[in-house]
Structure 1
Amino acid sequence: MSDDTLSGAKSPTARNLFNALQLDTRLLGMIGAFVFICLTFQVFTGDGNIFKALVNGNFLTPRNIFNLTIQTVSVAIMATGMVFIIVTRHIDLSVGALLATCSAIMAVTQTQFMPQWLGFELGNPLIWIAAIAVGLLAGVLIGAFQGWMVGYLGIPAFIVTLGGLLVWRNVAWFITSGQTIGPLDETFKKIGGIGGTLGTTWSWVVGILAAIAVLAMQYNGRKRAQAHDFPTKPLWAEGVISGLMVAMILGFVATLNAYEIPTRRLERMFETRGEIMPDGLVAGYGIPYSVLLLIAVAVVMTIVAQRTRLGRYIFATGGNPDAAELSGINTRFLTVKVFAIMGGLCALGAVVGSARLGFSTNDIGTLDELRVIAAAVIGGTALAGGVGTIYGAILGALIMQSLQSGMAMVGVDAPLQNIVVGIVLVLAVFVDIIYRKRTGD
């Protein structure tokens, strides 16, 4: 009996094209919204009629897509942690302020503590490594402390993190004495994006490896389903989905590689190495290091959510906290773990954010708590708890950043941008409520 026959016999989802593909309608909706936003701003930033504008618009250029990706990373990293927070029926309003504190700690460590107080020479790799380690430790400890107050003292997370928003924002101010700290270590700054990329060759290598990994996961997932006698998609449907995923990966790499390094910048890069740039040399940026960091975080968080006991406990607790506690889950300690993870991800967001700027500023992370929560909610995380995906939160962050970047490109004032984002957030929650009523989730 063929795979297709087995699938058709066991699952009614193979009756038509859409059902045979078994696509997540929520994910399709988010992708559709993202495509609509991109095409809309492509038209508004172009000249001529709608068809000409689709071709000559500035929103979907390699340069803008490159900038869009590095601007999304910091919020997207924190949004993956916010999924766990909201899934367990909590909220964290302190993430932007915590990012600022971690950024200040890392900035002071690499500009004052390590070189001035411990005598490390500038350029020593231990400087930026120690700075990141100290920042991560601070983020995890602060997050765990807030989780302890929520889990063991019974203080509502809303109140704890609202207090944290005020406390940590001003702790950051005292750490830096209200000053901008920098410039930061040159190697550290490469993590921020434009200053640190793989280049075209290594970007293709990473893209091809990622495509192979996707095909391998699809194949292994199908084999596991067959081994346990679970329904499977028809082979043609598996092929279509795999082909689309591979095309998106390689298309993304090709787009980033198409963004060429300015000639003068390329000359300076050769001059730094004591070399002369060959005439007519053209080079692309490729994948930024910050995007690689986001991919690594997404993979790890997805594995935690889907393949570990911790992930099962998180979603079980969010689905029914009383039942989870009666089944033996230590929900109080689980709360500490979830907030500690959130704190660590805030520190990673601080690494990317401050590295991209090259400085640690007093207003870094301002309003990020709202952007992070909005990204998670727009990405399908239910405020009632128990439901959420890592990829959805990342896509939500990308939608948010696309909206803001596009409005900035067409000249929309900042206050109106925030109004639009607020409206989109409310609409996203409303659509989510309707979706759950219709699907019975």
Structure 2
Amino acid sequence: MSDTALPGPKGPAARNFFAALQLDTRLLGMIGAFIVLCLAFNVFTDGRFLTPRNIFTLTIQTVSVAIMATGMVFVIVTRHIDLSVGSVLGTVAAVMAVLQKEILPQYLELGHPTIWIISIIVGMVIGVAIGAFHGWLVGYQGIPAFIVTLGGLLVWRAMVWFITSGQTIGPLDETFVTLGGVGGTLGEFWSWVFGVLAVGAVIWLQIASRRRKASHGFPVKPMWAEVALSGITTVAILGFVSILNAYEIPARKLKRIYEANGAVLPEGLTVGYGIPFSVLILIVVAVVMTLVARRTRLGRYIFATGGNPDAAELSGINTRFLTVKVFAIMGGLCALAAVVASARLGFSTNDIGMLDELAVIAAAVIGGTALAGGIGTIYGAILGALIMQSMKSGMAMVGVDAPLQSMVVGIVLVLAVWIDIQYRKRRGD
């Protein structure tokens, strides 16, 4: 083995540093590109892009696409595609809206505390059922996923119109709306509590992982590298919480909140929004999907099938039923994204979720999911969704026309795939 095969004392210090941290260089490149993107937009917008208000808005706008992008990772990893996610979102949102405004009030009084719960449960069931049906057509009937989901895009988008009779349905249930972002947040104190608990959980997982590797005789990172990673993670989590807490509730709105509770707003009092409930939903989805991908038999089967479908089937994996499961998960995540998207708007419109399928696929691909299958990460897809939304938001703030925005997004998508191909060629994948 040559001296350059492993980083050693003779190599550059930076290379040794990152090698010791054992971080994915592609992920580091994405994070670096995202930072540069944000700094550039901040310069062109005279410092408005990186304000707490815009970061808060950017965060809640990213959630619905990011939720679906985590499911798209599984779909693409198994060498399929789903073009219907935006239409499925629209259908589920329409069903939930009609349940809340027209059907359930006939049996329960308007504003009943169970209305929003029932509507979400029904919406989730419908989303999973639609996804499973798509998976059955692909897995058991042999119809290419591109055709099935292209048909689904048209059918379910038309279904939105039939369900709502072409009308906007709303306003939605008040409790339901809190799941969308601005209407429901943890507040400053509980956001800090969540941040501290999150830091503690990350550090505990690092310690547990280190002990597990050591007990099995696997190599572990140097202690200084573990401490450095813990420090970076702590700064990132608490910094994010600090930014969201810095976005203050407008004085007029805060005054109305106090008056509604029969109190008087103290002079000079300011209160931050904190972490939105929708972001908490995304965090839970990210954790669960990561655990499924890395720690469960289902996750191993998904990546094994994507890597080599024939070998996976010969090894005893029921790839047909696996396809149904993957698309059912995708449908369930579309339903969850419908909850967040419609709650953020407070209404269900006929164009809700329109073209989201393109944003979702782009987020997964930009995040490192290989279209050839077998490779993809949940955190990469979420970062890809954040990059996509940052580009859209930044260009809108700069004043870039919508057609030019679409051109830029298309160029970035193709460029991301090209970079991914070159990166894998260099690694020999």
Q: What TM-score does the superposition give when structure 2 sets the normalisation length?
A: 0.97
1:74: which partner in 2?
64
1:14 and 1:233 in contact (8 A); partners too? no
Cα distance per residue 1:333-371 (max 9 Å; x no partner): 000000000000000000000000000000000110000
**Distance in structure 1 (CA, Å) of the matches to 2:148 and 2:239:** 44
Letter in 1 for 2:260: T
Secondary structure at the counterpart of residue 255 of structure 1: helix
Query: Which of these residues, 329, 349, 352, is aligned with residue 317 of structure 2?
Result: 329
Q: Of residues 375, 389, 392 in structure 1, which corresponds to 2:377? A: 389
Is this contact kept in 2: 1:132–1:351, CA < 8 A?
yes
- Corresponding residue of 2:74: 84
Q: Distance in 2 between matches of 1:110 and 1:439?
A: 52
Aligned residues: percent identity? Answer: 74
CA displacement at 1:13 relative to structure 2:
5.4
Query: Which residue pairs with 1:176 in the alignment?
Result: 164
Hey, what's the Cα distance between the residues in 1 that align with 2:31 and 2:90? 31
For 2:174, the equivalent position in structure 1 comes to 186
**Separation (CA, whole Å) in 1 of partners of 2:124 and 2:418:** 36
Query: Could you tell me which amino acid in structure 2 is paired with residue 111 of structure 1?
Result: K
What's 2:102 paired with?
Answer: 112
Give the unaligned 5+ runs of structure 2: 10-15
**CA–CA separation in structure 1 for the residues paired with 2:125 and 2:18:** 47
Aligned residue in 1 for 2:421:
433
Match of 1:235 among 217, 220, 223: 223
1:409 matched residue in structure 2:
397
Of 245, 250, 272, the match for 1:262: 250
Once residues 352 and 261 of structure 1 are traced to their aligned partners in structure 2, the CA distance between those partners, rounded to angstroms, is: 21
CA–CA distance in structure 2, aligned partners of residues 175 and 20 of structure 1: 56
Look up the equivalent residue of 2:221 and give its one-letter code: K
Cα distance in 2 for partners of 1:123, 1:17 equals: 57
Alignment map for 1:276-315 (pairs within 5 Å): 276-315=264-303
SS in 2 for 1:125: coil
**One-letter code aligned to 2:75:** I
Q: 1:22 maps to which residue? A: 22
CA-CA distance at 1:12 after TM superposition: 4.7
Matches of 1:275 and 1:122 in 2, distance apart?
27
Q: 1:365 aligns to what SS in structure 2?
A: coil
Aligned to 2:361: 373
Instruction: For 2:72, give the aligned amino acid.
Output: M
Is 2:300 the counterpart of 1:317? Answer: no
1:95 aligned residue (70, 77, 85): 85
Cα offset for 1:22?
1.4
Partner of 1:5: none
Secondary structure at the counterpart of residue 327 of structure 2: helix
Question: 1:18 Cα deviation (Å)?
Answer: 2.2
Q: Distance between the aligned counterparts of 2:49 and 2:379, measured in 1?
A: 23
CA contact (8 A) 1:13 1:22 kept: no
CA distance in 2, matches of 1:263, 1:287: 19
- Counterpart of 1:60 in structure 2 is 50
How far is the alpha carbon of 1:29 from its aligned partner? 0.8
Shift of 1:123: 2.1
Name the aligned partner's letter for residue 59 of structure 2. T
- AA matched with 2:170: G
Show the counterpart of 2:125.
Answer: 137
- Using structure 1 for the length normalisation, give the TM-score: 0.94
Moved more, 11-20 or 60-69: 11-20
Query: How far does residue 14 in structure 1 lie from its aligned partner after superposition?
Result: 6.5
1:156 offset after TM fit, Å?
0.1
Deviates more, 1:364-373 or 1:120-129: 120-129
> Residues of 1 paired with 2:89 and 2:7: CA distance?
45
Distance in 2 (CA, whole Å) between partners of 1:232 and 1:186 is 50
Q: Is the CA contact (8 Å cut-off) linking 1:13 and 1:20 kept in structure 2?
A: no
Distance 2:266 2:31 in 1: 42
Of 14-23 and 291-300, more deviation after overlay is shown by: 14-23
2:338 to 350, 362, 366: 350
d(CA) in 1 for partners of 2:8, 2:361: 37
The Cα of 1:238 is off from its aligned counterpart by 0.8
Aligned 8 A contact 1:90 1:158 in 2: yes
- Of 271-280 and 261-270, more deviation after overlay is shown by 271-280
Amino acid at match of 1:100: G
- Aligned-pair RMSD on alpha carbons? 1.0
Distance 2:335 2:132 in 1: 13
